[in-house]
Amino acid sequence: MGVEVVVDGLSKSFGAQTIWRDVTLTLPPGEISVLLGPSGTGKSVFLKSLVGLLKPEQGRVVINGVDICTCSERQLYEIRKLFGVLFQDGALFGSMNLFDNIAFPLREHTRKSESQIREIVLEKMEMVGLLGAEEKLPGEISGGMRKRAGLARALVLDPEIILFDEPDSGLDPVRTAYLNQLIVDLNAQIDATFLIVTHDINTARTVPDNIGMLFRRNLVMFGPREVLLTSTEPVVEQFLNGRRQGPIGMSEEKDAAQAAAELAQLRDHEVGVPQIVPQLDVSPGLPERAAVRRRKDRVLRSLRNLAPAAQREILKTLTPDELALYGFAAPATGAWPTEPVPQRVPVAEVPPQMRPTPRPRQPDPIVEEPAETSRRRWFGRKRGAR
Ligand SMILES: Nc1ncnc2c1ncn2[C@@H]1O[C@H](COP(=O)(O)OP(=O)(O)OP(=O)(O)O)[C@@H](O)[C@H]1O
């Protein structure tokens, strides 16, 4: 089973710029968690802080009883061996074929023989559906295949925690759906702790057990998927609906009056949280995810502390036998009651000066980082080079 990652009161700044403050959350062992947030809210900084590549000024990140913010270099080196990381672009070496790319961490960090390495590499390539592509160069394959090759490489040291940095970036919706299924299937097979940073709403709605969101230098919330997916918090609603109206602006945030005015002008069908869609199940023939049972036990123990809408969605996922086992009664009518429609301020009550002025839409600048730079950012120097 994967390990728990406890983040407690973590704060990170660069000079005078606070990235986020007092972030507290626990990644439950073996579960899949997603971290959402508008661009620039510090999701990548958070991932780097988890592997000790960045040092937060305050707080702790405790893994296997070791606080990686204050531990020795040697302890940090050992803790990093628990991690596998999937970089945005796969971060493959362009001049190496897929086999050598995937074998790279084994050759660098273990004393395994070439025949052992071959066995491991082929096993991981099979897990990600790349068997037969060993001789291909990264430049000869699609973006989706490169991601899968990066994932196979993240798996070769049998990590207990896997960090996915925007696994869906640059993929079309169909490839994203395949990759999401692969992530769920891998979790069933290796039961490691997964943390996925993504902007993709569909990924957030279908893949994770838990969801968190960063906004305005704070962790807005973190908890079971049903909590965030039923939340009426304006920033969460805006993000999940992918709309312009709300607190998130073009470059990060808007002032409160403008956001309120925009929200008030929304039409009825544009208000509210989208329907919760069921979480992806594992592919036929694979074992059930052990994390699902553990999560039920964990979440149901503290169910009464959650918002009513989240409680109802969690109870809906239980079978009649599970309801009885956990001591909950099924609804007498056979259907769970629906949520009241959220109240909004009528448009007429919003003073004209607070109404939004339409702004021209501009494309987001997308800057791709070269694979080698991003690899160096994460892995740092080779063993023995310290
Ligand atoms: N090493 C660094 N030194 C100074 N500032 C940095 C450093 N790394 C990141 N930042 C700043 O931290 C902020 C958060 O960046 P980060 O890349 O973590 O955001 P993000 O939420 O991952 O964004 P995106 O979704 O666009 O990838 C940005 O303003 C960025 O410029």
ipTM of this complex prediction, to 2 decimal places: 0.97
pLDDT (0 to 100) of residue 268: 58
Residue nearest to atom 29 of ligand 1 (CA): 40
Radius of gyration of the chain (CA): 22
Residue 19 is predicted with a pLDDT of: 94
Distance from the Cα of residue 370 to its chain's centroid: 22
Amino acid (1-letter code) at residue 339: E
Residue spans of the domains in the chain: they are 5-224+367-379, 290-326
Please indicate whether residue 41, judged by its CB atom, sits closer than 6 Å to ligand 1. Answer: yes
| Dist. CA 215 → ligand 1 center (Å) | 13
pLDDT at 169: 83
pTM for the whole thing? 0.81
How close is the Cα of 218 to the center of ligand 1, in Å?
14
- Closest ligand 1 atom to residue 48 Cα is 18
* Residue 17 Cα to ligand 1 middle (Å): 11
User: What gap in Å lies between CA 386 and CA 379, rounded to an integer?
Assistant: 12
In the chain, alpha helices (H): 43-50, 73-80, 98-109, 114-127, 143-155, 173-190, 201-206, 225-229, 234-241, 256-264, 290-301, 308-316, 320-326, 371-379
CATH of domain 5-224+367-379: 3.40.50.300
Q: Is the CB of 45 under 6 A from ligand 1?
A: yes
Would you say the CB of residue 336 lies under 6 angstroms from ligand 1?
no
> Is 368's C-beta closer than 6 angstroms to any atom of ligand 1?
no
Q: Whose CA is nearest to atom 25 of ligand 1?
A: 39
pLDDT lower than 50: segments of the chain: 337-386
Contacts 24+ apart (CB under 8 A), 24-29: 24/59, 24/219, 25/212, 25/219, 25/222, 27/161, 27/193, 27/195, 27/210, 28/4, 28/193, 28/209, 28/210, 28/291, 28/294, 28/295, 28/298, 29/1, 29/2, 29/3, 29/4, 29/193, 29/291, 29/294
pLDDT for 331 equals: 64
Burial class (CB in 10 A: 0-12, 13-18, 19+), 81: middle
Q: Whose CA is nearest to atom 4 of ligand 1?
A: 14
Atom 9 of ligand 1, nearest CA residue: 45
**The pLDDT of residue 45:** 93
Residue 46 CA to ligand 1 centre (angstroms): 9
Give me the pLDDT at residue 273, please.
Answer: 58
Please give the C-alpha separations between residue 285 and each of 183, 267, 290, in angstroms, as whole numbers. Answer: 16, 45, 15
